[in-house]
Amino acid sequence: MSLFRTELRRLTKRRFTRWMTAGGLLVLALIVVGLVITNQKIGPDQWAEAKRSADQQHQEQVQWAEQERANCERAKATGEDVDHYPQDCADITAPPRESIEEAWFLPSTFVFRESFDEMLIPLAGILAMVGFVVGASFVGAEWNSGGMMNLLLWRPKRLTVLLTKLGALLTGMLALALPATAAWFGSLWLVANWRGTTEGMTSGAWQSFLLTGLRGVVLLLVAATVGFALASLGRHTAMALGGAVAVLIVGQVGLAILLDMAQVRFAEAWLLPTYAYAWMRKTVTLQDWRSCMATYTGECKPAILELTWQHSSMLFTVGVVLFLGAALWTMRRRDIA
Amino acid sequence: MPAVLEIEGLRKTYRSRRRGTRNALDGFDMRVEAGQVHGFLGPNGSGKTTTLRTLLGLIRPDGGRMTILGHEVPAALPQIAGQVGAIVESPQFFPHFSARDTLSLLASAGEVPVPRVDEVLELVGLRDRAGERVKTYSLGMKQRLAVASALLKNPKLLILDEPANGLDPGGIREMRTLVRNLAQSGMTVVLSSHILGEIQLICDSVTIISLGRRVAFGPVDEVLAQHSSGAVRVRLEAVTDLPVAATALHKAGYRVSANPDHLMLAGVDKPATVTRLLAEQGLYVSELAPVAVDLESVFLELTNTAPVPGQHRQVDQSVRVNGAESSAPTAGGWGA
């Protein structure tokens, strides 16, 4: 227990942990500020303004139609090339007023029920990135600075040391994620109250938010574990960060281009972010626009591939088992020079 | 006296597909008795640090047996780690933590009482700089911090690898006094160093390693005596008698080298026979002094690492097994 407390203390004392956490929270705060600036509460004034805008647009459409009709009649009378006009110029009419919806002219508003689920994705993404980098640095810097060797002189049980470090890291990440998620919820609830609406919340919606939030926390823990394991394998923070950059740039961007050139079906299914997105959204539907799935009515629809959070969970499990297993194995077997 | 540390037949082999096989430790033996300050000497690349790392469980041995405080290691390391303080090679600490933070975290991990941190900081002279980040420390200060971390547990066995590295002359003297005081308090100290004068001054016994094998061991005096060349300096009342004396001694089988005011004899078992021989020739000795060897010369002789004018010795060019012969260069030590 003393080792766990020590490692937790070491984690929180590290400047890198503090700066990365502060950086991640700052980005989240900026997103909230952006939402406050770009959204407005909808009231009678906004509806009146929207009606004015709709009327104005209708008037513009009427004037335009009249002018075009006049142009059409003039062109036909002079025998000009009138291919782009209908045969009967009277067909050029303005849309009816009711087809221009006033809602189109309303300012952006933050509807908590519709938006919060989506807004949990940037929270999870930023926290997962912080988790990955902090996890990698936490053990990588220890290896690099000789701290791990010092610690092993005090606690010669290698696996216990590594797993305790990981436990401390994950506890620290949970201690970051839970209040951060609560603060995110609170901030967006305030934004909705001030610049939108919180109406329409049902127990089902709350449950859905809770589950999405939980999946976000799991994503953070997975990212932190993989970063930790990679840095431990390479005994350097750069191993994890370099690996991540390589995977993202070469493995993802490069692979995406290659798959597109090769016209592979459902190319996104080979890309990691798709699985992270599927994990958070529960389902991602990929479509193959080059295929035709005929319906009874003879309509041609693209073939679809549905990726669910269960697929993602399998991928995450395999990744964690593989990387962490390798890190533990090398910790046990390799000399510490 | 009971042995605090015993190593028998320790082997460690490094294999590389490109560079072949190298025996870093080739059946190495060592014994350190309780309460001693034991010097552990060897040229660069001879296996000193590999031995210490293996002993402390950082490197897995390929063979041999090791015990610390009567327990087989590495199996029993978790039980005895609290009684063994060690610094291995150059001190390495997280650069952004202060010395106090560094020691405090180690103390917390090892369940050492917090006041001990200030005690050891005082002991190594870092009390007033303890709040500064380690990255601002000089090599000598980092060395002091490393020693402090090793002392934190108040260990029964203290292993110090090059503790004087980077220390100023005052610091070296302080380190010497500290080690002696620790030994007097009952702590056993194993000291690996290249400052052989220091080792000779503070160590009770030594082990010399070369190319992964022990080439000499025992109390310092005995090691020196075993490798003394029996050299004797002879001065006569009349300097003019030196040539006659040289001839007489040479005829008696001594190896003599003449100097302007004295003679140097080698291989003298009993200096009294020299006096008697010269007196019989009517030559009267004014000084007959055995020439003492120091640890450095013994070390250089045993490890065959004395510099030779015009040659550039490579790191693994030192004495072979049993100190009998010099090894040929082995392509940097790999491929043996």
- The answer to whether B109 contacts chain A (CB < 8 Å) is yes
The confidence score (pLDDT) of residue B335 equals 25
Report DSSP state, residue B4.
E
The answer to whether residue B110 neighbours chain A at the CB level (below 8 Å) is yes
- CA atoms of B19 and B332, how far apart (whole Å): 10
pLDDT value for B320: 52
Q: Do A15 and B86 touch (CB under 8 A)?
A: no
Residues of B in contact with A235 (CB under 8 A): none
Residue in B39, B43, B83 with CA at minimum distance from that of residue B186: B83
Q: Nearest CA to CA, how far is A16 from chain B (Å)?
A: 10
Whether residues B92 and A147 touch (CB distance < 8 A) is answered with yes
Contacts of B142 in chain A (CB under 8 A): none
Q: What is the pLDDT of residue B67?
A: 95
**Candidate from B91, B95, B111 with C-beta closest to A2:** B111
Backbone angles phi, psi at A298, to 5 degrees: 85, 5
How many residues are listed for chain A in this entry? 337
Q: For residue B167, what are the CA distances in angstroms to A187, B140, B148, B202?
A: 56, 4, 14, 16
**Domain spans in chain B, listed from the N-terminal domain onward:** 3-225, 230-290
The helix or strand, by DSSP H or E, that contains position A110, with its residue range, turns out to be strand A110-111
Point out the residues of chain A with pLDDT beneath 50: none
Q: For residue A248, give the DSSP letter.
A: I
Helix (H, G, I), strand (E, B) or coil at B65: strand
Q: Is B192 exposed, middle or buried (0-12, 13-18, 19+ CB in 10 A)?
A: buried
CATH number of the domain at B3-225, please?
3.40.50.300
**Residue indicated by tokens 């046990």:** A332
Please give the order of strands across the beta sheet that includes B285-290: B255-258, B263-266, B232-236, B285-290
E-only strand ranges, B259-316: 263-266, 285-290
Q: Which residues of B touch A153 (CB under 8 A)?
A: 56, 58, 81, 84, 86, 88
Identify the pLDDT of residue B326. Answer: 40
| pLDDT given at position B307 | 63
CA distance B306 to chain A (A): 29
Q: B313, B305 in Cβ contact below 8 A?
A: yes
Return the residue of A nearest to B51 by Cα. A337
In DSSP notation, A114-178 reads HHHHHHHHHHHHHHHHHHHHHHHHHHHHHHHHTHHHHHHHH---HHHHHHHHHHHHHHHHHHHHH
Question: Is A335 in the B-facing interface, judged by CB distances under 8 Å?
Answer: yes
Does the distance separating the beta carbons of B81 and A156 come in below 8 Å?
yes
B86 at A interface, C-beta within 8 A: yes
For residue A166, the one-letter residue type is: L
- Report chain A's terminal Cα–Cα distance, integer Å: 27
Q: Is B93 on the interface with A (CB under 8 A)?
A: yes
Spatial separation of the C-alpha atoms in residues B321 and B303, rounded to whole Å? 10
Nearest CA in chain A to B153: A154
> Looking at CA atoms only, how far is residue B110 from chain A in angstroms?
6
The pair of three-digit structure tokens given for residue A150, joined into one six-digit string: 């010092």
| CB atoms B81 and A10 under 8 Å | no
Interchain CB distance below 8 Å, A154 and B106? yes
Name the 3-class secondary structure at B238: coil
Q: Which residues of B touch A13 (CB under 8 A)?
A: 97, 101, 105
Closest CA to B84 of B100, B93, B71, B98: B71
Residue A317: how many other CB atoms lie within 10 Å: 11
Closest to A150 (Cβ–Cβ): which among B81, B96, B106?
A: B106
Q: What span, in angstroms and rounded, lies between the C-alpha atoms of B336 and B26?
A: 12
Contact A337 B58 (CB under 8 A): yes
Mutate to test the interface with B, among A8, A10, A154, A334 (most CBs of B within 10 A): A154
User: Whole-prediction pTM value?
Assistant: 0.80
Q: Is the Cβ pair B81, A337 closer than 8 Å? A: no
Decide if B234 contacts B265 (C-beta within 8 A). Answer: yes
Look at A150 and B111 and tell me if their CB atoms are within 8 Å: no
At residue B234, the 3 state secondary structure works out as strand
pLDDT for the residue numbered B327: 38
Instruction: Give the residue from B94, B96, B149, B151 with the most A CB atoms within 10 Å of its CB, the best one to mutate.
Output: B94
Query: For testing the chain B interface, which of A153, A159, A333, A335 should be mutated: the one with the most B CBs within 10 Å?
Result: A153
In single-letter form, the type of residue at position B319 comes to V
| Number of other residues whose CB lies within 10 A of the CB of residue A206 | 12
Tokens representing A168? 């401390």
Asked if B141 contacts B174 with a C-beta cutoff of 8 angstroms, the reply is no
Q: Do B94 and A5 touch (CB under 8 A)?
A: no
Question: What residues of chain A, 124 to 153, have a C-beta less than 8 Å from chain B?
Answer: 141-142, 145-147, 149-153
Q: What's the token pair of residue A272?
A: 């990691």
The widest CA-to-CA distance across chain A, in whole angstroms, is: 100
3-state SS class at A260: helix
Nearest residue, CB atoms, A152 vs list B58, B94, B108: B58
- Out of A6, A152, A337, name the one closest to residue B108 (CB): A6
Let me know: does B99 contact B121? Beta carbons within 8 Å: yes
Q: Which residues contact B16 (CB under 8 A, 6 or more apart)?
A: B22, B334
Among candidates A280, A272, A282, which has minimal Cα distance to A315? A272
- Cβ-defined contact of A336 to B53 (cutoff 8 Å): yes
User: Where do we find the tokens 């609830």?
Assistant: A189
> What letter would DSSP give residue A106?
S
In tens digits, what is the pLDDT along chain B, a chain of 336 residues? 678 999 999 999 988 888 788 888 989 999 999 989 999 988 888 888 899 999 999 999 999 999 999 999 889 999 999 899 998 877 678 888 999 999 999 999 888 898 999 999 998 888 889 999 998 988 888 888 988 999 998 899 999 988 887 778 887 888 888 888 888 888 999 998 877 777 888 889 999 888 888 888 888 888 877 776 677 889 998 888 999 999 998 888 888 888 888 898 877 778 888 889 899 888 889 988 877 777 777 777 777 766 666 666 665 565 554 443 443 333 322 222
| Residues of A whose CB is below 8 A from B114 | none
Judge contact between B62 and B23, C-beta under 8 A. no
The enclosing H or E element of A205 equals helix A203-234
Q: Under an 8 A CB cutoff, do A150 and B96 touch?
A: no
Angle between helices A15-38 and A2-13 (to 10 degrees): 60
- Residue pair A96/A48 in contact (Cβ under 8 Å)? The answer is no
Q: How far apart are CA B45 and CA B37, in angstroms?
A: 23
**SS3 string of A46-81?**
HHHHHHHHHHHHHHHHHHHHHHHHHHHHHHHHHCCC
Q: For residue A85, how many other CB atoms are within 10 A of its CB?
A: 18
- Asked if the peptide bond before residue B243 counts as cis, ω within 30 degrees of 0, the response is no
- Where do the DSSP E strands lie in B199-267? 205-210, 213-219, 232-236, 255-258, 263-266
Name the residue facing B96 among A2, A15, A149 (closest C-beta): A15
CATH architecture of the domain covering B230-290? 2-Layer Sandwich (3.30)
Q: Tell me, yes or no, if B76 comes closer than 8 A to chain A by beta carbon.
A: no
Alpha carbon of A282 to those of A121, A211, A213, A242, A278: distances in Å? 12, 10, 12, 30, 5
Report yes or no: A199 and A107 within 8 Å, Cβ to Cβ: no
| Set of chain A residues whose Cβ sits within 8 Å of the Cβ of B149 | 150
Distance from CA of B208 to the nearest CA of A (A): 22
By the 8 A CB rule, do B31 and B23 touch? no
DSSP of B98-165, one letter per residue? BHHHHHHHHHHHTT--THHHHHHHHHTT-GGGTTSBGGGS-HHHHHHHHHHHHHTT--SEEEEESTTT
Contact between A313 and A320 under an 8 Å Cβ cutoff? The reply is no
A294 touches chain B (CB under 8 A): no
